[in-house]
Amino acid sequence: MKSTESITLEKDPGGFIEKVLSAFVEDSPSNRRKADEGKYFNAPLVGYASGDDPQFMRYKRIIGKFHLTPQEVFNLTFGEGAGEGPLTVIAWVLPISEDTRRSNRRTQQYPSLLWSHTRYFGEMFNAALRDHVVSMLTAKGYRAVAPSNSSYFTPFKRAPKAGLTSNWSERHVAYACGLGTFGLCDGFITPKGKAVRVGTVVTDLIVSPSDKPYADHHANCLYYVNGTCRACATRCPAGAVTESGHDKDKCRDYQDNVVFPIKNPAYGVKISGCGLCQTGVPCEFEIPRQIRETRARNER
């Protein structure tokens, strides 16, 4: 493994960015849980996509016309026409620590304390990580923006097909960067599973796009691959996950009216999340073994 000092942004931009992300995750005090000083997140997975990847325009149809492209993000941030040159989208996945996952795995109705702290305080760390990457790139002479930290980010918009969504879905952006695929409950299943948080940055630094190793957008989900798993549906206390997919309204209603009034004050957070469908399932911390073994046999 090359040391951080031997990797330069100019010679190996992708490697440099990955080192910056990994160092911040490892060293930042913000990645220490308030409850017990354990870590919210383990080392990140990182992926890249070209700003003109056709997938971003497809999201106008799949999610809604309001979903921003990288060029639109740059235009909103730096002025009209700012995104007409080459752009790169950086995405990362932050795997939630094993002890936090274990604590939530044991619950059946409400999120655990560690899980809720990860959802609230851990996402504050993720926001700081986005800003850290932007500051690093700016200091190096590049323009960069973290859309989810911006004033124009809208977290809850209703689309005819997608239901409640945002105008910059970081999970969908991470899919375009080759980091994973979607499951029955809409969770983003990565090589580190779906108990994760996601972050993104758009920049005019050019980084080679990552490989896209998945055949389709459900390739890591056992239910969609062979119909053998509905574990996330069984785990959902709201009945919001069925063979038809994820009912976002029912999910949000359960969190707003059942979980939050009880757990937010008890845990000292403003958002407690739920995450039961992300833990105690075959894709919690890995791509399901059955899928990996099938792929391995097919590659022989």
Tens of pLDDT, residue by residue over 112-157, are: 999 999 999 999 999 999 999 999 999 999 999 999 999 999 987 7
pLDDT at 28 over 50: yes
Tell me what pLDDT residue 1 has.
36
User: Among 109, 106, 88, 100, which residue's Cα sits nearest to residue 202?
Assistant: 88
pLDDT tens sequence across 247-273? 999 999 999 999 999 999 999 999 999
Residue 172 has pLDDT above 80, yes or no: yes
Cα distances from 12 to residues 16, 18, 123, 132, in angstroms, run 6, 10, 28, 19
pLDDT tens digits for range 206-237 = 999 999 999 999 999 999 999 999 999 999 99
